[in-house]
Structures are given as C-alpha cells and as structure tokens.
C-alpha cells in the first residue's frame, strides 16, 4: 500500500508561486491601517483506491492535482455568470505513458485539454466542505468529487480528469488532469476515485 501524501502536508505557498495581489487596508493593534496582499489558490488531491472483486484493497495512493488553464477559465466563466454548467464527470484513461519511452509517465501539463486516451467516465457524486483555522492553511472551501469504476476486462488505467460534460461533447472543459503509474484492473476489480479541489486564501486567513 502506498500513501505518499497526507492531508495538511502542503502549505498554501506550495500551491501558489506568484500570487495575484490585491491591496486592501486592514487594521493592526495600534489602529494604523496597513496594506495586505490577498491571493486565492486553487489546488487539490486525487485519491485512488484499487479493490479486487472481494473488496480487498490492492493499492491506495493520494497524489497532488494539476489544475488546467481551461479549468481556471471555466471557473472564471462560472463566477461571471457567463457559464452555468458545473464540473460533474470523472474520466479515466490509458494514455498516461510516454509513447517515446513507455516506462515513463507523461507529466500532466496545465495546457492539457483532454485525456490522451479516454477509457471510461462516470457522473461524480459531489459535495462541499469548509475547513476553518487549519494550522497550516487557515481557511479552505473544498469541492469533492467521487465515483467508483468497475471493470469487465484487464486494462491499465494511468490518467484521470474532471470534466464539465461527457467526453462525447467536443471541447468540453476539463478542470484538471493527472497521470499516475498503472492500475492494472482485472475483470470485476473496482477503482475508487475521490478528488478534492481546494480554494485556499493566501496569506493564511484565520477565522475567529
């Protein structure tokens, strides 16, 4: 069993290399207004649990997410009211290997707009949660996407994404894309996919 990351391992500064800055005035204890730099990061974690037909865990892994540019654009469209369709599908595929060197993964790229080799998709069960006053991250608003894939044949799953519509809809935006080492799915195996997308204020915002 592999567990590479645990919740809370990463700090907001790990997500945001060049935070956008908005200058506002806040007050310190002596009553003097001071400028405050405010940035919001979008990040996330992908949890994969591979189970056999009896429900036994064959592998479990938590890996960092990669948000795409088209995903950020779709979020902006939603905030502005220019788009109304939410992200609702989880897709998995078989195109995570480098075709020029099959022993290596293709690193996910923010410019990605689709899976390399789509295999299957499901409508995700979605939920949201607030995290208040986390010691490392302060305030977070988290969107969760979850589904369980079943398989009727042997297939090597090594990439995944969240999308607005079915992959059958040309140009449907994807929020993210992640590659990972092959999950060799056997007939009647299951792959549980849970994705958490976190909106985090940086610098850390403590709620009293």
Q: How far apart are CA 157 and CA 183, in angstroms?
A: 5
DSSP code, position 171 = T
Report pLDDT for 1.
42
In a domain, 70, yes or no: yes
Q: Judge whether 1 lies within some domain.
A: no
- Look at residue 31 in the predicted model and tell me its pLDDT: 60
Domain that holds residue 104: 12-202
pLDDT tens series, the chain, 208 aa: 444 434 444 454 444 444 444 444 454 545 665 555 567 788 889 999 999 999 999 999 999 989 999 999 999 999 999 999 999 999 999 999 999 998 999 998 999 999 999 999 999 999 999 988 666 667 889 999 999 999 999 999 999 999 999 999 999 999 999 999 999 999 999 999 999 999 987 655 544 4
Does 2 reside within a domain? no
Residue 92: CA count within 13 A, CB half-sphere: 28
Q: How many whole angstroms separate alpha carbon 50 and alpha carbon 57?
A: 6
Split into its structural domains, the chain has a count of 1
Is there a domain that residue 4 lies in? Answer: no
Q: Which residue in 197, 71, 208 sits closest to 129, CA to CA?
A: 197
- DSSP H/E element including 73: helix 69-79
pLDDT score, position 41? 84
Query: What is the per-residue pLDDT for 16?
Result: 46
20 found inside a domain? yes
Model pLDDT, residue 134? 66
- Per-residue pLDDT at 17: 47
Q: How many CB atoms lie within 10 A of CB 46?
A: 24
Q: What is the pLDDT of residue 4?
A: 41
Is 141 a domain residue? yes
Q: Is residue 76 part of a domain?
A: yes
Angle at 106 between CA 87 and CA 76, to 5 degrees: 30
Q: Is residue 5 part of a domain?
A: no
pLDDT at 145: 98
């Amino acid at each position: 069993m592999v567990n590479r990351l645990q919740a809370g391992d990463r700090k907001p500064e790990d997500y945001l290399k060049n935070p956008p800055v908005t200058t506002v005035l806040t007050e310190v204890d002596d009553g003097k207004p001071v400028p405050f730099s405010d940035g919001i990061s979008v990040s996330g974690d992908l949890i994969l649990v591979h189970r056999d037909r009896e429900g036994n865990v064959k592998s479990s892994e938590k890996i960092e997410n990669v948000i795409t540019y088209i995903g950020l654009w779709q979020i902006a469209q939603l905030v502005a009211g220019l788009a109304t369709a939410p992200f609702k599908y989880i897709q998995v595929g078989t195109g995570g290997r480098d075709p020029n060197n099959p022993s290596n993964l293709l690193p996910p790229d923010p410019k990605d707009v689709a899976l390399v080799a789509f295999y299957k998709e499901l409508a995700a069960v979605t939920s949201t949660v607030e995290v208040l006053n986390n010691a490392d991250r302060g305030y977070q608003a988290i969107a969760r996407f979850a589904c369980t894939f079943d398989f009727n044949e042997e297939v090597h799953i090594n990439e995944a994404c969240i999308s607005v519509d079915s992959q059958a809809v040309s140009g449907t935006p994807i929020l993210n894309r992640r590659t990972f080492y092959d999950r060799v799915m056997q007939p009647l195996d299951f792959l549980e996919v849970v994705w958490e997308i976190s909106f985090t204020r940086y610098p850390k915002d403590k709620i009293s």
